[in-house]
Amino acid sequence: MSDSSAGKLPDLAGRTAIVTGATGGLGFETARALGAAGARVVLAVRDLDRGRDAAARMKRMERMAGPVEVRLLDLADLSSVRRFAADWTGDISLLVNNAGVVYPPELTRTRDGFEAQFGVNHLGHFALTRLLREHLTGRVVSVSSRFLASGLDLDDPNWERRPYHASRAYNESKLAVLLFTIELQRRLAAAGSTVIATAAHPGWSATGALSAGRGLLPAMLRLGTPLLASSAEAGARPSLYAATADIPGGTFVGPGIMQMYGAPKPVPTPGVALDSESARRLWEVSERLTDVSAGDRK
C-alpha cells in the first residue's frame, strides 16, 4: 500500500496515467505528482498550447521520472472524445476524470447541446471511460464534490424545461459523477474485472475553477476561499490517494478534517449516491445521450 495520505506515492514506472483537465489546478498537481512517481502521464486537454505550457512547467518544477505527453481532448464535444479514444493504443493503468466546469454565470451548452456542467463533468467523462474500456487495466478515479444535490432530475438533466440554477446544476453534475462511480464499480465487479472505480473530492481547495465561479458561491465560501482554502496541491491529494492507495472499488476519498482539510482518507459515501435505481437510470440516460452503449469487455 502506498503512503499517499502523506504525499508519498509508489513507484509508478512503466504505468500510463491519463489526467483530464491537467493544465491547472487539481489536474495539474495530480499529473505532476504521478509523473514525479515515474508514470507516463498524458495530459488530456482542450487547449494544446496550454497543455504544452503545463508540461513544460511540470518539468521545470521538479524532475519528472516519467515522460509527459499532451493530447487534445475537449469533453464538451463528443466527437473530440471519440477521436481521443479511437486514436489510443496500449494499456491505461490509471484514468483520472478530473476536468470540470464550475458555476458558469449563465446557462451554457456543450457542442452537443448538453448543459455544460452535466455535459463536461459527467457525460464527457462517462463517454471517455466507456470508449477506453478495452484499454483500462487498473483504476478509474473520478473527481466529485463534497457538495451534492439531493437528487437528479433525469427527466430534464440538461435544464431544457427547468429554470436554470448554476449551483444546483453543479451539485447535480457532481452527484452524477459519484453515482457513475458506484455503478461502474458494480458493473466491473459483476463482470469479474480487476479494474476498479474510485472517487475523490478535494475539500475546500483554492483552484482556478473555483475562482471562476466565485460570484455564485455561498457567501461564506466566497469570502473565505482566498484566506482559508487549501492549495491546489493539497486538494489533489485525495485524487492521488484514490489513484494509488490499497482501497476497494467504490471508495470515496476526501480530506480527513471535516472533509475540508488535512490528509486524505476514505469518507462516507452520501446515501443519495448509493441509490441503485438512480444509478441505473443515470447509466441508461447517459448511454442514450452520448450514444455510447457497447458492452463492457472486462
Which residues are tagged catalytic? Answer: 170
Distance of CA 47 to the CA centre of its chain: 18
The phi, psi pair for 43, rounded to 5°, reads -85, 110
The secondary structure element, H or E, covering residue 197 is strand 196-200
Which 3 state secondary structure label does DSSP give 199? strand
Which DSSP letter does residue 100 get? Answer: -
Which 3 state secondary structure label does DSSP give 17? strand
- Taking the C-alpha atoms of residue 34 and residue 18, their distance in angstroms, rounded to an integer, is 10
| 226 grid coordinates | 482566498
Q: Residue 291: CB partners within 8 Å, gap ≥ 6?
A: 78
CB-based burial label for 145 (10 Å; 0-12, 13-18, 19+): buried
- Taking the C-alpha atoms of residue 25 and residue 198, their distance in angstroms, rounded to an integer, is 20
Q: Distance between terminal CA atoms of the chain? A: 24
The CA–CA distances, whole Å, from 183 to 120, 154, 277 equal: 19, 16, 10
Which DSSP letter does residue 142 get? Answer: E
Ranges of H-type helices in the chain: 25-36, 48-61, 78-87, 116-117, 125-131, 166-190, 208-212, 219-228, 232-235, 237-244, 276-290
